[in-house]
Amino acid sequence: MDKAKVLFQPDGKRSEGQPGESILHLAQRMGLDLNSLCGGLGVCKKCLIVIKEGGSILSPLTDTEARFFSEGEVSEGYRLACRTSILRTGDIVVEIPFESRTGQMKLLASGIEAKVSLNPAVRKALVQLRKPTLKNIEADAENLLATIKEKYGIRFGSLSYEVLKRLPAALREGNWNVSITIRQDEEVIAVEPNDTTARLFGFAVDVGTTKLAGYLVDLSKGKVVASASMINPQVPYGDDILSRITYTNSNPDGLNKLASTVREGIMKLIGDCCAEAGVEKEEVYDVVAVGNTAMHHILFGIDPEYVALAPHPAAIRSSLNVKAREIGLRISEGAYAYSLPLVAGFVGSDAVADGMATEIHMSEEVAMMIDIGTNTEIVLGSKYGLGACSCASGPAFEGARIKNGMRAATGAIESIWIEPDLRIRYKTIDSAAPRGICGSAMVDALAEFLVNGLIDNTGKIRVEKGHPQVRRTDNLSEVVIAEKGETVGGEEITVTQADIREIQLAKAAIYTGASILMKNMRILPEELKRIFIAGAFGNYVNPENARIIGMYPDIALSKVRFVGNSAGSGARMALLSYDIRRMAEIVANKISYVELAADPSFNKEFIKAMYLPHEEEKRFKNVMKLLRNAT
Amino acid sequence: MDKAKVLFQPDGKRSEGQPGESILHLAQRMGLDLNSLCGGLGVCKKCLIVIKEGGSILSPLTDTEARFFSEGEVSEGYRLACRTSILRTGDIVVEIPFESRTGQMKLLASGIEAKVSLNPAVRKALVQLRKPTLKNIEADAENLLATIKEKYGIRFGSLSYEVLKRLPAALREGNWNVSITIRQDEEVIAVEPNDTTARLFGFAVDVGTTKLAGYLVDLSKGKVVASASMINPQVPYGDDILSRITYTNSNPDGLNKLASTVREGIMKLIGDCCAEAGVEKEEVYDVVAVGNTAMHHILFGIDPEYVALAPHPAAIRSSLNVKAREIGLRISEGAYAYSLPLVAGFVGSDAVADGMATEIHMSEEVAMMIDIGTNTEIVLGSKYGLGACSCASGPAFEGARIKNGMRAATGAIESIWIEPDLRIRYKTIDSAAPRGICGSAMVDALAEFLVNGLIDNTGKIRVEKGHPQVRRTDNLSEVVIAEKGETVGGEEITVTQADIREIQLAKAAIYTGASILMKNMRILPEELKRIFIAGAFGNYVNPENARIIGMYPDIALSKVRFVGNSAGSGARMALLSYDIRRMAEIVANKISYVELAADPSFNKEFIKAMYLPHEEEKRFKNVMKLLRNAT
């Protein structure tokens, strides 16, 4: 019982640490994503953490740290995890900032988050009612509404039907003392006997085409208490948006099947998080869901068929408030599921959430937010105006349509580089024997091949260079990354010419979207002061390599920021603050949608963007300089 | 095809009549409840009808009718059904007024109805939307809401979730031309491709403890198009309110079982009415339900346990608006079920509906409304103030707890009288061989026995009088009504001393309620100007005999009016007019509830009311004069 309780944010994971144990050790013991190259020697200075609470029960600042951190950083609580150990029992809250993430936790469940003041859409109040007598018989509902108006000054119209059904029993069980949950100061959505006001939880979920990420949040404290993620269980029905939509309209009951599949997935996340944090599902009173328009429509049981057909109108653009049980979420019976507003048929509430998390709508300078996924959304602009577009980048970055492609999991080759002796080297996740290649390594492969002249600027493998790992058989060129003897399957792992084309298509889609959006908004490249790259993939890719292959406009790397799952962050913000929901409604309305297909230059731009980094070399001055220096 | 189409109101039954056929013949052919003592000879003048439409295709007024009706009545359309025959093809609407009802249709499905102007809570509009283009992509929901605001001047907030799910397909199917159904000018609750504005139906249902009566109403024309009734399928779970409530809390899942039982019953009525009128269930966009508080709670899935416990608070007093599908009614998916407000734990929305139908809340003079059922509600007052109480009159009038008791059905003895030679005579429903005695005959029995001295004013059978049909065996006195040889079962049908006590208890409960209510409201007997008697039972009982046994205060019979199922009438009014709903909310709030059990004089009053007609003879001056003249 002399252990200290440690809560890691923003993951919401908790553990107990022995006195003497370092935070790095504890984090590694829990499998958390915290960088450490030197293995805890205090040398690499990668294991940055921020102590949010409990600094006094931790070992004092070391000389190493004092030299490394600025005064401001020290006062913010910055430490090196390997140099920080637990002294005695107590409560500690540790934040692992984004710069300390290695990407080991491949389904990234966290992201940057703008600061919001705690003002959730739901709140609780303890209410003492008058007991009715023969002389003063008052119906239960009127008794409750009159009491909260008279005694507590809360004015609103209605009790939800679920509350009405539970009210008589709750009043008697609590001896006329009940806790009510009020939503948006309008509706009583829950009633419980006695004082349960300290137990108020909400759940935010990012419904991606490929993954679901969920966060259980204590709404009375504003803290994430647990998080979980999983592959979107709809994946077997199609690995991109269009194939999912096709499934819904080419199979009997297809929409219901996909809807219930993702709803069950979300329930699984809720169940896992509740179990981890010791919370009952009935104590979850609010849900915020974000996702692209197709995922949104399917989740809410709305036919997405027309989203796939030009001009791709959504069924609804504004935010949605639907009883959670209507979409199969069995939490507090009267709880609602809220969706942030959408922008258009292919720019969903996830992009709006990205915008809220990166605060691009409040930025003085022009910024671009690229949320890379099977569908990539781009939001561009500043407080003076915002535009958005959607790029069908496809699932290649997730390993699909790549010969030896796989998702980021144990044994996936996650980075590739070429040594000075031109030998191609790789690193796998968990340092396991290689099983395949994941998206971040494909980006590395193209960049390294280009820099080292193994491919030309059209992406064509230069067999003529005679590199020992490059070969051509049956008219098929490929680069051998791992030999037969090294791999789990006993087969070579290669990057084929076709694989390179897939990555070119994906990166060209993203770059074309960015450049057409800039053109439409009359924003010049030099005006672009910041690029946020979001999405699980976005956090692990080597930013330099991504720039070399021309995935995003060629700006200084210092202006590129990886923000992780910022859609999930935006969802959490909307859970914590009703003001964010109101703001999101305004912002979503302000974002003008640019339909790429309607732009006459789209095809020409797309073809030019297939080049590495681009056919118009002047657009990539930094990269071209680098390439010229290399060759 | 040369037949005329005839619609009978307020039953909503339709038929076709041949030229030459009389309306009386047609009504009898359809089994409708239309009085005729002389068999169509134009002598008894009992078959009054009112021609609402199609007078010109009927035979002209006969001399008999011209002499019988006043000029005003003729201009209102009054005719004798036996003297009115069809001349040629066309549409005829006939109303059978209450004075022409014999009570043959024993589950009375109609009632008086105050005139209301047609203003239903739901209405339809045809809307032509802009088709979205690549240059102007608008989400479907925003497109619809903006269009109805701009082009049609309709302003309101929301689309129901059910509409959102159907909207994309409906818009394309109708080529951007859809019919919307708007509820209370607030919410779009249905959307259908193309013009369906002529098809707008609603359903009103009176949920009685013993019977369900439902009416399908064409809300675009304000007409009942079909009606149906059935025994409440909950009856096997208990024949009165308290036994139903006991069932809900003494059986696992008891509430759900009773709730789904009555919901299925209502769906059966809706299905039958829709089939009869050629209406799809999806064309029913509104439901109004009325019932006593326990029936209301069970229907809406609210635990009625506490209604049975002093001080009997309801869970909610005000009106309820719940999605119809939430209570298992599978009609238009977005439709609501509306319940009129309640008054108290034992005075339900049926009493409020009675009040609306009898317009007691608008009356200058003091009136009393007695809705007789297993539970009897009494509303008393005028436009200057209203009070209400509830009497546990029990199911004796429905034949329960009576030795040879039965419900009003073929073979039931429905009236009993004593001939000048003192022989006891009876009449059965459908003139069939007797199977038992129903409530109206039990009232006759007590009154006739009293007038003829077979019982004394305590209800005791006077065996000593030596009436040949009175006998005493094994300490049990009884009066033989039908001999062994006459009955279906081959057993005598008798009225026992215990049966007489049951009826005394029931009538004493009603009278005690009326008198305590009057005392509480400081209303003197001479101030009472009108008594409305409602409920299926109320329409068949002999009013004089009911007064003789002291069931209601002793006022002139001309001031007593039988109004049939006025709860059902009030429900229909609320379906036809949203104004009635607003009015009902005000009226229900205005009705002060009198808890009989809280009145210290209740027991004393009840015991006095057990006497026939009453222990205090001065309260029944008219009856006492009659009794003195008889003996």
Architecture of domain A350-394+504-630: 2-Layer Sandwich (3.30)
- Give the residue carrying structure tokens 């159907």: B166
Residue A441 has pLDDT above 60, yes or no: yes
Q: Please state the domain extents for chain A.
A: 4-100, 122-193, 201-346, 350-394+504-630, 405-496
Question: With 70 as the cut, is the pLDDT of residue B307 above it?
Answer: yes
The C-alpha atoms of residue A398 and residue B487 are separated, in whole angstroms, by 86
Q: What is the pLDDT of residue B212?
A: 92
What does residue B287 show for φ and ψ, rounded to 5 degrees?
-130, 135
Q: What is the pLDDT of residue A371?
A: 92
Tell me, yes or no, if B159 comes closer than 8 A to chain A by beta carbon: yes
* B389 pLDDT higher than 70: yes
Whether the predicted pLDDT of A102 surpasses 70? no
Query: Read out DSSP for B214-273?
Result: EEEEETTTTEEEEEEEEE-TTGGG-SSHHHHHHHHHHSTTHHHHHHHHHHHHHHHHHHHH
Model pLDDT, residue A539? 60
Q: Are strands B211-218 and B201-207 parallel, antiparallel or unpaired?
A: antiparallel
Shortest distance, CA B165 to any CA of chain A (angstroms): 5
Question: In what order do the strands lie in the sheet containing B48-53?
Answer: B13-17, B4-9, B90-95, B48-53, B78-80
Tokens in use for A580? 């964010």
A557 and chain B in contact, CB less than 8 A: no
Burial of A252 (0-12, 13-18, 19+ CB in 10 A): exposed
Chain B residue whose CA is closest to A301:
B165
**Using a CB-CB distance cutoff of 8 angstroms, which residues of chain A are in contact with residue B316?**
139-142, 159, 164
Residue A171 contacts residue A156 (beta carbons within 8 Å): no
What is the per-residue pLDDT for B426?
Answer: 94
User: Which has the minimum average pLDDT: A39-48, B211-220, B516-525?
Assistant: A39-48
Closest alpha carbon to B355 in B136, B532, B152, B229 = B532
List chain A residues with CB under 8 Å of B165. 300-303
Distance (Å, whole) CA B377 – CA B347: 6
Q: Check if B167 contacts A (Cβ < 8 Å).
A: yes
In this complex, do B316 and A141 lie within 8 Å of one another by their Cβ atoms?
Answer: yes
- The answer to whether A4-100 and A201-346 have equal CATH topology is no
pTM of the model: 0.79
The pLDDT of B258-284, averaged and rounded, is 97
Domain at B201-349: CATH architecture:
2-Layer Sandwich (3.30)
Q: Residue B139 has what pLDDT?
A: 93
Contact criterion met (CB < 8 Å) for A142 and B169: no
- Residue B71: predicted pLDDT: 81
User: In Å, what is the CA distance from B320 to each residue of A350, B206, B278, B289, B337?
Assistant: 37, 15, 29, 10, 8
B138 touches chain A (CB under 8 A): yes
* Distance to chain B for A211, nearest Cα, Å: 25
The CA distance from B163 to A116, in Å, is: 34
Nearest to B137 among A302, A315, A344 (CB): A344
| Structure-model confidence comparison of residues B585 and B64, the more confident one | B585
Contact B530, B112 (CB under 8 A): no
> Is A157 in the B-facing interface, judged by CB distances under 8 Å?
no
**B529 to chain A, minimum CA–CA distance in Å?**
29
Radius of gyration of chain A (CA): 26
Average pLDDT over residues A604-621: 96
- Do B313 and A161 make contact, defined as CB atoms within 8 angstroms? no
| A135: contact with B, CB 8 A cutoff | yes
Distance from CA of A233 to the nearest CA of B (A): 22
Choose among A139, A310, A315: nearest Cβ to B316.
A139
- Res B504: pLDDT: 97
pLDDT mean over A386-394: 91
pLDDT in tens, A528-579: 999 999 876 656 788 889 999 999 999 988 888 888 889 999 999 999 999 9
- Tell whether the model's pLDDT for residue B98 goes beyond 70: no
Q: B161 to chain A: which residues are within 8 Å by CB?
A: 300, 322, 326
Q: Kindly indicate whether the domain formed by A4-100 is annotated with CATH number 3.10.20.30.
A: yes
Round to whole Å and give the CA distance between B314 and B312.
6
Q: How far is B584 from chain A (nearest CA, A)?
A: 17
Query: Would you state the pLDDT for residue B539?
Result: 60
Confidence of residue B144 (pLDDT cuts 50, 70, 90): very high
pLDDT computed for residue A396 by the predictor: 86
Q: What is the pLDDT of residues B435-483, one digit of tens each?
A: 999 889 999 999 999 999 999 999 999 999 999 999 998 888 999 999 9
Check if B480 contacts A (Cβ < 8 Å): no
Residues 565-594 of B with CB under 8 A from A: 593
- Predicted confidence at residue A105, as pLDDT, reads 35
Q: Give me the residue from B168, B313, B597 closest to A302, CB to CB.
A: B168
Contact indicator for B126, B197 with CB cutoff of 8 Å? yes
B473 close to A (CB below 8 A): no
SS3 B570: helix
CB-closest option in A134, A303, A318 to B310: A134
Per-residue confidence band for A629, with pLDDT thresholds at 50, 70 and 90: confident
DSSP B130-146: PPPBTTB---HHHHHHH
Size of interface A-B (CB pairs under 8 A): 122
**Mutate which: B130, B133, B140, vs A, most A CBs within 10 A:** B140
Label residues A341-374 b or e (16+ Cβ within 10 Å = b): bbbbbbbbbbbbbbbbbbebbebeebbbbbbbbb
The predicted structure's pLDDT at residue A67: 82
What is the overall mean pLDDT for chain B? 90
CA-to-CA separations, A574 to A121, A123, A290, B158, in angstroms, rounded: 9, 14, 10, 22
State what percent of residues in chain B have pLDDT above 70: 95
Q: What is the pLDDT of residue B155?
A: 67
Q: What is the pLDDT of residues B188-218, one digit of tens each?
A: 999 999 999 999 999 999 999 888 999 999 9
pLDDT at residue number B611: 97
B302 CB within 8 Å of a chain A CB: yes
pLDDT for A423 equals 93
Taking 50 as the threshold, does the pLDDT of residue A420 lie above it? yes
Amino acid at residue number B386: L
Asked whether A419 and A425 are in contact (CB, 8 A), the reply is yes
When scoring A136, A140, A312, A520 by the number of chain B Cβ atoms within 10 A, the one with the most, hence best to mutate, is A140
Of B132, B139, B301, the CB nearest to A316: B139
Q: Determine whether the interchain pair A137/B593 forms a contact, defined as Cβ–Cβ distance below 8 Å.
A: yes
B339 interfaces chain A, CB cutoff of 8 Å: no
User: Across the interface, do A134 and B159 touch by the CB < 8 Å criterion?
Assistant: no
Q: In angstroms, what separates the C-alpha of B614 from chain A's closest C-alpha?
A: 28
Are A311 and B137 a contacting pair at CB < 8 A?
A: yes
Give the one of B302, B593, B598 whose C-beta lies nearest to A168's C-beta.
B302
Which numeric CATH code is attached to A201-346? 3.30.420.480
* pLDDT score at A133: 87
Banded pLDDT at A107 (limits 50, 70, 90) = very low
Tell me what the mean pLDDT of segment B49-73 comes to.
87
Give backbone dihedrals phi and psi of A408, rounded to 5 degrees, phi first.
Answer: -70, 100
Q: Is the pLDDT of residue A109 over 60?
A: no
- pLDDT higher than 90, residue B242: no
Q: pLDDT tier at B105 (50, 70, 90 boundaries)?
A: very low
> Which residues are within 8 A (CB) of A108 and not within 5 positions of it... i.e. 6 or more apart?
A101, A213, A229, A536, A539, A564, A565
Across the interface, of B132, B165, B318, the residue whose CB is closest to A311 is B132
Of the candidate CATH numbers 3.10.20.880, 3.30.70.141, 3.40.50.720, 2.40.50.140, the domain formed by A122-193 belongs to 3.10.20.880
What is the pLDDT at residue B325? 97
> Which spans in B323-409 are helix H?
349-358
Q: Which of B243, B270, B248, B272 is nearest to B259 (CA)?
A: B248
